[in-house]
Structure 1
């Protein structure tokens, strides 16, 4: 397969490395020519969980429209960059399948307005961190879930044949439900870690943080009656343990002074709950705290 990955952040780089390892022709589309030149010269290094390294032959470009027609486009930019990407995708052939890899729910309806015949969504739970322009660190094994929003699943079924235990992939029936459940997990972990500036695992050892996380869970189960059966609190604890050493994406954004995805993750969940008559006071307070931190400069 000829795969184009748009976005060379941690998620994009890690996915590109595993796809290239599976003998696919992978091109990373990046924003800066400097990064494209460095990737074309040095290729992409993945630092494994045990500290060992592998080098993967990745091409790179800043011009999506100039590339040969791919078999699949993976869109791995953050939500804030999607509007520009949508404009570029509009001009591409409708037959090219798209796979969107973003947190939150805000992009679901937006992506499905594109003309492409086949559009799928991906939710990842692996740990990844960019070291530099050409190096990504794999910090934790986690599932890559794919749900079809519209169209044919054939091209995505090919990804199942990777059968790499370090990059497990599974299909789910309902793409929107998959994104909702991921957002629920993120609501309980990301804002707290960003505000308190702690790792995921600290949510279990810090008594007050644990109490806040459990309070958010109780609020969510009141607002969304099926959460208790689909996402037991034990699953939240298990995720915190599994990703104990991870820096959440929201905390990483704060550390880098970037705008976070709190609107697309927490904001959308707050809107859905409010429509059901539930204000989610604890989560709403954390939401406004994250926004206040961003307004004041992010790192203070």
Structure 2
């Protein structure tokens, strides 16, 4: 399959590498000329040479079989114009709950939504695959057979909205706190006071969303924290680098949904405001 990946960050390049290894032809679109990493390090620590094919030709985005959008959520506004004329499937892999804004910009016909929980980072010329995970995509059932051609790298998820909600909740419980305190994820599990803060935050979300316990249990939250103990959350990395964060895509939709239920989330609201203050 001929595929384009929009976004030349760690996640975009990792998706490219995984799809290429599975036999697909992949080109990476970036807005400007840039040098890509020339080495790839697997989760097991082995290192190999890589060569990514890049392009700035936007016409290619209308010609390939499939487009993955792997930019940060705050770059989506600049991506939409590139895809207005496309009449084929587009998979959005952003953190957060972005369906409303994507469909407002591009409609529903060709948009699919996905969740990726691989870990990845870039260190100079090295693409580091920090942890194996999955890529799940779903929404328009018309494209289910199409997406299944990408197995085993990508799988189809009938319940993609639930998958994305689950990821948003996990990110809400971990990312803002680690970003504000400038600590790795694992600190939330070894520091007793921070443990209690995570528990209180989880309890607040459960009160607002009573079915939350059905798809995100507290034990799973701490399992994820321990599994990614040495990782630095994307929000923490963005703040340290002076970049905008994805707080509006991850946390704001939860606040809006709670408000629609006449529920108030004081901890969530406080963390949201504190992260926003970093931008200001």
State the alpha-carbon separation in 2 of the partners of residues 209 and 179 from structure 1. 25
Superposed counterparts of 1:1-300, under 5 Å: 1-33=1-33, 35=34, 38-39=35-36, 44-66=38-60, 69-92=63-86, 94=87, 96-105=88-97, 107-113=98-104, 114=106, 117-132=109-124, 135-149=126-140, 151-162=142-153, 169-295=154-280
State the alpha-carbon separation in 1 of the partners of residues 92 and 62 from structure 2. 20
Give the TM-score of the pair, scaled to structure 1.
Answer: 0.87
Contact 1:200/1:244, CA 8 A, preserved across alignment:
yes
Contact 2:239/2:245, CA 8 A, preserved across alignment:
yes
Contact 2:2/2:25, CA 8 A, preserved across alignment:
yes
State the alpha-carbon separation in 1 of the partners of residues 140 and 161 from structure 2. 8
- Structure 2 residues without counterparts, runs of 5 or longer: none
State the alpha-carbon separation in 1 of the partners of residues 120 and 109 from structure 2. 31
**How far does residue 49 in structure 1 lie from its aligned partner after superposition?**
2.2
Aligned residues: 279
State the alpha-carbon separation in 1 of the partners of residues 152 and 233 from structure 2. 29
User: Compared with structure 1, are the counterparts of its residues 86 and 151 closer, same or farther at alpha carbon in structure 2 (3 Å cutoff)?
Assistant: farther
Secondary structure of the corresponding residue to residue 159 of structure 1 = coil
Secondary structure of the corresponding residue to residue 202 of structure 2 = helix
Contact 1:45/1:136, CA 8 A, preserved across alignment:
yes
State the alpha-carbon separation in 2 of the partners of residues 109 and 9 from structure 1. 24
Contact 1:5/1:28, CA 8 A, preserved across alignment:
yes
Match of 1:298 in 2: none
Contact 1:74/1:98, CA 8 A, preserved across alignment:
yes
**How far does residue 122 in structure 1 lie from its aligned partner after superposition?**
1.0
**How far does residue 149 in structure 1 lie from its aligned partner after superposition?**
4.0
Contact 1:6/1:12, CA 8 A, preserved across alignment:
yes
Secondary structure of the corresponding residue to residue 152 of structure 1 = helix
- Structure 1 residues without counterparts, runs of 5 or longer: 163-168, 296-300
Secondary structure of the corresponding residue to residue 3 of structure 1 = strand
Contact 2:61/2:67, CA 8 A, preserved across alignment:
no
Contact 2:91/2:114, CA 8 A, preserved across alignment:
yes
Give the TM-score of the pair, scaled to structure 2.
Answer: 0.93
**How far does residue 57 in structure 1 lie from its aligned partner after superposition?**
3.5
State the alpha-carbon separation in 2 of the partners of residues 25 and 171 from structure 1. 20
User: Compared with structure 1, are the counterparts of its residues 216 and 68 closer, same or farther at alpha carbon in structure 2 (3 Å cutoff)?
Assistant: closer
